[in-house]
Structure 1
Amino acid sequence: MKIVKKILVALLIVLVLMQLYRPAKNNAEYRDVAAFELETNVTSGIKTIMENNCYNCHSNKTVYPWYAEVAPVSFWINDQIEEGNEHFNVSQWLAYSNKKKDHKLDELVEEVEEGEMPLDAYTWLHGSITEAEKEAVIVWANKARENYKIVE
């Protein structure tokens, strides 16, 4: 029984020490998505879907829930955000070439169609995206891709 107690105390100490180290937050001054929304003709309905399901991990500004302050959850959330921004960051939209913009929108369609986005872990905590919302995003993204079919 003493070994179990020692292990639990050690785990508690590690957990407390983890609270002292915080991963860097995705905290730009504001969520700069205007260029993306303007260029891709985001409607108010699509904007709501994107705000509720995409921008927290795919822009330079994340609205963090309270539990993001508690390690080890803070590390896990930070990892998800970094990976999301690595794959697609709407705040960097103007830096992308037309070919890359087309590719990013194509990936968005593919990920939504396959049910890979939004991540299950995100929808468990923030609510699910409906099939109608998924279809609206797919239709919008395919239409937006038409702007980038021009050969550079």
Structure 2
Amino acid sequence: MKKVIILIAVIFVLIQFFRPEKNISEKENFNSIEKQHAVPKNVSLILKTSCYDCHSNNTHYPWYNNIQPLAWWLNKHVVEGKRELNFDEFNRYSSEKKKKKLTEIIDEIEKKDMPLYSYTIIHSNAKISLEQQKEVNNWAKKLKDSLDFK
């Protein structure tokens, strides 16, 4: 039993040296959604508080991101989140993809699938109230409708 505990401790120490690359960009992003589309300040604040850690090129990492295997788990969420929607790359999307992503934003918020429950456990300020849901969804619907005319 003692050997097993020592082995687990050694493995735990060793994995601390293998860290994923952090999602932090120093560059000004010309493809961000706010560069081409009007995003009201209240909606922008909601998106930055509740969405951008996983859906942008800049994640604000919590202290526990310095502990493996938690950093790997967080990195997986960020990579998957950016693959689904990246607000910092939104203007690279085709018009059709933009409309699809806006529809998905509305659906995910209405179903309360976003932000992830596991995220809001630690980041309670990321929870979206009913009023905030309406604000984001109304904005997303208006933006989607405006894309139909471009």
| CA drift at 1:32 | 3.1
| CA drift at 1:68 | 0.8
Structure 2 partner of 1:144:
143
Unaligned runs of 5+ in 2: none
Aligned pair partner of 2:65 in 53, 68, 72:
68
The letter for the 1-side match of 2:139 is W
The letter for the 2-side match of 1:95 is R
Q: Once structures 1 and 2 are overlaid, which stretch shifts more, 139-148 or 5-14? A: 5-14
Supply the RMSD in Å over aligned alpha carbons.
Answer: 1.7
In structure 2, distance between residues paired with 1:33 and 1:58: 16
| CA drift at 1:31 | 6.7
Q: Provide TM-score, normalisation by structure 2.
A: 0.91
| CA drift at 1:7 | 2.0
In structure 2, distance between residues paired with 1:7 and 1:60: 40
Structure 2 partner of 1:83:
80
In structure 2, distance between residues paired with 1:113 and 1:16: 42
Unaligned runs of 5+ in 1: none
Number of equivalences: 148
Structure 1 partner of 2:52:
55
Judged with a 3 Å threshold, the aligned counterparts in structure 2 of structure 1 residues 123 and 32 are, in CA distance, closer, same or farther, namely: farther
| CA drift at 1:30 | 4.8
Structure 1 partner of 2:43:
46
**8 A Cα contact 1:56 1:81, kept in partner:** yes
Q: What's the secondary structure of 2:38's corresponding residue?
A: coil
Identity of aligned residues (%): 34
Q: 2:23 matched to 1:26? A: yes
| CA drift at 1:39 | 3.2
Q: 2:142 matched to 1:122? A: no
Judged with a 3 Å threshold, the aligned counterparts in structure 2 of structure 1 residues 69 and 77 are, in CA distance, closer, same or farther, namely: same
Aligned pair partner of 1:102 in 99, 103, 106:
99
| CA drift at 1:25 | 1.0
In structure 2, distance between residues paired with 1:6 and 1:31: 51
**8 A Cα contact 1:31 1:61, kept in partner:** no
Q: Once structures 1 and 2 are overlaid, which stretch shifts more, 26-35 or 115-124? A: 26-35
